[in-house]
Amino acid sequence: MKVLVINCGSSSLKYQVIDSETEQVLAKGLCERIGIDGRLKYTPAGGETEVTDAPMPTHKEAVQMVLDALVNEKTGALSNLSEIGAVGHRVVHGGERFTKSAVIDDEFIAGVEAVSDLAPLHNPANIIGIRACQALMPGVPQVGVFDTAFHQTMPQKAYMYGVDYKYYEDYQVRKYGFHGTSHSFVSKRAAEIVGKPLESLKTIVCHLGNGASICAVDGGKSVDTSMGLSPLEGLIMGTRSGDIDPSAVEYIANKEGLDFAGVMNVLNKKSGVEGISGVSSDFRDLCAAADEGNERAKLALAMFSYRVAKYVGSYAAAMNGVDVIAFTAGIGENTPSVRADVCSYLKFLGVEINEELNKEVHGDEKKISAGDSKVLVYVIPTNEELAIARETVALV
Ligand code: ADP
């Protein structure tokens, strides 16, 4: 079956067409600036990227442009739209209601709308994308795959915050976690590579991208994760602060004359390694600046790795051990210095990496732990689109 995978943001739409039998990507691309003007990027397998500027007042026009590109006579990956057997949508927040992926119907949409307060920027955009596909591909089954669902196995002691219980009862204030599709994909792949049953392994997945989170996976189930009610909690990220004392929110607001939205904007968009370094949120720029002696870039990198290592240590405690540590996403797959720095704090767990091997791994699936390491350490590229396509096929 050919599956169209859609990841809808407020003004963008990423897509891939995946052949579920061969798991090959037939075409992929992106619509940008939806609601502003509109630009389609389309790359067929093995072909050149085409860029087309065309008005996209809403996501519906964007989906229509994607479908037109897919059946374009010269470069289209499909000869007919009827080849698309199903559509898989990334949906950010499923609250407590969605513990796994689900076929999309009216009840599904109502359920996602009901938890939109928890992800006010993302869930409404996801629903717009779903409705656009429903309108343009009537009768094609659609599936929603949640970022949060994998973490619904966390025990209550892990997901509760230490605040009055009524906030949980009345407003579902708790840790949900994100990047679940990636953590699930990578932990399953780790078990395959190690050649042991998933149920027998304690794995810590470090998804280190512009958004970054860590997950403790015990026997295939998420038992703790670093992102929380929103993706702001946990690690220091590209522009997000990660964990801070909430009192700093009030203090900064008072000093800078900001309201809640203003401080949240600071914590989400003007903090993290970019805010600390004053250089960039991109690790390639940061590493280059640090190599040239930029002290704040060095500090940002040191803080990033230190925070990752502290979470890995705490998750080893949460699971009473760890068998496998897996690095994934842009930084985890491509930045050997970060992996080496993180692992340097973990020697007490018996983590030893092969420094030479580690330096060579950029985006490949490879073991980087030394032969005598008590914990296996891997780089495992994530593939959220493939994971969504697999879930979609399984459900339809
Ligand atoms: P997100 O999906 O959250 O936007 P990514 O997983 O794409 O983030 O990760 C982005 C980060 O990964 C950036 O800091 C970037 O510097 C780093 N990165 C991505 N690709 C490479 C690469 N080929 N070499 C070095 N760093 C990379």
The pLDDT profile of the chain, 396 residues, written as one tens digit per residue, is 999 999 998 889 999 999 999 999 999 999 999 999 999 999 999 999 999 999 999 999 999 999 999 999 999 999 999 999 999 999 999 999 999 999 999 999 999 999 999 998 899 999 999 999 999 999 999 999 999 999 999 999 999 999 999 999 999 999 999 999 999 999 999 999 999 999 999 999 999 999 999 999 999 999 999 999 999 999 999 999 999 999 999 999 999 999 999 999 999 999 999 999 999 999 999 999 999 999 999 999 999 999 999 999 999 999 999 999 999 999 999 999 999 999 999 999 999 999 999 999 999 999 999 999 999 999 999 999 999 999 999 999
What's the structural domain count of the chain? 2
pLDDT in tens, 219-252: 999 999 999 999 999 999 999 999 999 999 999 9
The C-alpha atoms of residue 312 and residue 347 are separated, in whole angstroms, by 12
**Ligand 1 pocket test target in 30, 280, 291, 331 with most atoms within 8 Å of CB:** 331
Q: Which of 131, 146, 161 is the last residue of a domain?
A: 146
Is the CB of 283 within 6 Å of ligand 1? Answer: yes
Same domain, 343 and 226: yes
* Domain hosting residue 40, numbered range: 2-146
pLDDT at position 9 = 86
Same domain, 202 and 132: no
The C-alpha atoms of residue 104 and residue 137 are separated, in whole angstroms, by 13
Is the CB of 29 within 6 Å of ligand 1? Answer: no
Is the CB of 38 within 6 Å of ligand 1? Answer: no
Q: Which of 82, 113, 146 is the last residue of a domain?
A: 146
* pTM (two decimals): 0.95
Q: Which amino acid is at 301?
A: L
Classify residue 172: in a domain, yes or no. no
Would you call 379 helix, strand, or coil by DSSP? strand
Classify residue 165: in a domain, yes or no. no
Which CATH number belongs to the domain containing residue 367 in this structure?
Answer: 3.30.420.40
The Å distance, Cα 332 to ligand 1 centre, comes to: 8
Element (H, E) at 298: helix 295-318
Same domain, 106 and 222: no
**Ligand 1 pocket test target in 334, 359, 382 with most atoms within 8 Å of CB:** 334
Classify residue 370: in a domain, yes or no. yes
Helical axes 283-291 vs 295-318, angle rounded to 10°? 120
Classify residue 317: in a domain, yes or no. yes
Same domain, 142 and 214: no
Classify residue 91: in a domain, yes or no. yes
